[in-house]
Amino acid sequence: MNDTLEEAARIIAGSKNLIAFTGSGISAESGIPTFRGKDGLWNKYNPAELATFEAFINNPKVVWEWYSWRINLVLNAKPNLAHEAIARLENAGILKVVITQNVDDLHERAGTKNLIKLHGDILIARCISCNYKERLSESPRNIPPRCPVCGGLLRPDVVWFGEPLPTKELKAATEAARKADVILVVGTSGVVYPACLIPFVVKNAGGKVIEVNISESAITEIADVFFKGPASRVLSALVSRVNELLKK
Ligand code: OAD
């Protein structure tokens, strides 16, 4: 890992426009399950029954029960060393923006400021009739929760299968990727469109791709540097070395 670490640290320290792209693997060590793989959520649950608008309209109670469980997981989780390392890179002025597919708030709680959330936010409930939004500090007491303004159904403000990504966020992420000279990709299988195209936009524009994952992903084939290992360990070591290089 030492040669790889040195190479990646030098690329990052020399970058002018570094961005990061994260997936559920970065939150795995905080106890939030990923979607794919042996212990992944989509191995135990059927996304068609829990993560589509149709499923929600047919059975809002079941969908909200599942989301309440996940909301509690997020509220009880803490950012890990990987989220903290990413925030340190931003603090050092070298990382310009973090684009995440995650709906948890662990990047924010670790201190990341410039964050684009492509798949929404599990801690926001949104009215399907009047678009009223509220931030949840606990899972809803009455399920399914109702809008205090118009009485409509509230839904989790996340992107479900078959739904478009939020326009403003997708545009901002694509523009950031076009301008980036390096992208740090952490803990994503890279198979969910269109978010997974972000590293390819960077690569096609001539940028470098550094990937951290416990196993190979759909992005590994375009990675200039691939670290096989848990995000917390790899990113702590990588960011410490980048900070040393920046001080020289
Ligand atoms: P996946 O579950 O598809 O992939 C998680 C990735 O994290 C895998 O490649 C794992 O190998 C890797 N991983 C697991 N633990 C890790 C660790 N400790 N350190 C580093 N890597 C680790 O999750 P995503 O790629 O985030 O969409 O999934 C993308 C989207 O699919 C999600 O945003 C969600 C889901 O359906 C929506 O909700 C719209």
pLDDT digits (tens, 9 = 90+) for 157-187: 999 999 999 999 999 999 999 999 999 999 9
Q: Which position has the higher pLDDT, 37 or 140?
A: 140
The answer to whether 1 and 229 are in contact (CB under 8 A) is yes
User: What is the CA(132)–ligand 1 centre distance, in A?
Assistant: 30
Which atom of ligand 1 is nearest to 37's Cα?
Answer: 2
CB contact set of 222 (below 8 Å; sequence gap of 6+): 199, 200, 203, 209
The conformational region for residue 16 under phi > 0 = left, psi -120 to 50 = alpha, else beta, is alpha
- Asked if residue 248 has pLDDT above 90, the reply is no
User: What is the CA(82)–ligand 1 centre distance, in A?
Assistant: 14
Q: For the residues 135-142, what does the mean pLDDT come to?
A: 95
Which residues have CB under 6 Å of ligand 1? Answer: 23-25, 28-29, 34-37, 40, 101, 119, 158-159, 187-189, 192, 212-215, 217, 230-231
Nearest Cα residue to atom 14 of ligand 1: 25
From 119, 155, 208, 241, the catalytic residue: 119
Q: For the residues 215-232, what does the mean pLDDT come to?
A: 97
User: Tokens at residue 130, please?
Assistant: 């009047």
Nearest Cα residue to atom 35 of ligand 1: 35
Q: Which of 34, 235, 236 maximizes ligand 1 atoms within 8 Å of its Cβ, making it the mutation to test the pocket?
A: 34
Q: Domains in the chain, please, with CATH? A: 1-31+79-119+165-248 (3.40.50.1220), 33-76+121-158 (3.30.1600.10)
**Cα–Cα distance between 219 and 20 in angstroms, integer?**
14
Confirm whether pTM is higher than 0.85.
Answer: yes
User: What is the CA(229)–ligand 1 centre distance, in A?
Assistant: 14
pLDDT digits (tens, 9 = 90+) for 43-87: 888 988 999 999 999 999 999 999 999 999 999 999 999 999 999
Asked if 107 is an active-site residue, the reply is no
Kindly list the distances between the CA atom of residue 150 and the CA atoms of 114, 132, 147, 154, in Å, as whole numbers in the listed order: 33, 9, 6, 10
Q: What percent of the chain has pLDDT over 70?
A: 100
pLDDT attached to residue 34: 96
Tell me the pLDDT band of 37, cut-offs 50, 70 and 90.
confident
- Asked if residue 207 has pLDDT above 80, the reply is yes
Tell me the pLDDT band of 228, cut-offs 50, 70 and 90.
very high
pLDDT attached to residue 1: 64
Which atom of ligand 1 is nearest to 217's Cα?
Answer: 9
User: What is the CA(188)–ligand 1 centre distance, in A?
Assistant: 4
Nearest Cα residue to atom 22 of ligand 1: 25
Q: For the residues 143-170, what does the mean pLDDT come to?
A: 97
- Asked if residue 99 has pLDDT above 70, the reply is yes
Tell me the pLDDT band of 38, cut-offs 50, 70 and 90.
confident
pLDDT attached to residue 39: 85
Average pLDDT over the chain, rounded to an integer: 96
pLDDT attached to residue 227: 96
Q: What are phi and psi of 228, to 5 degrees?
A: -95, 110
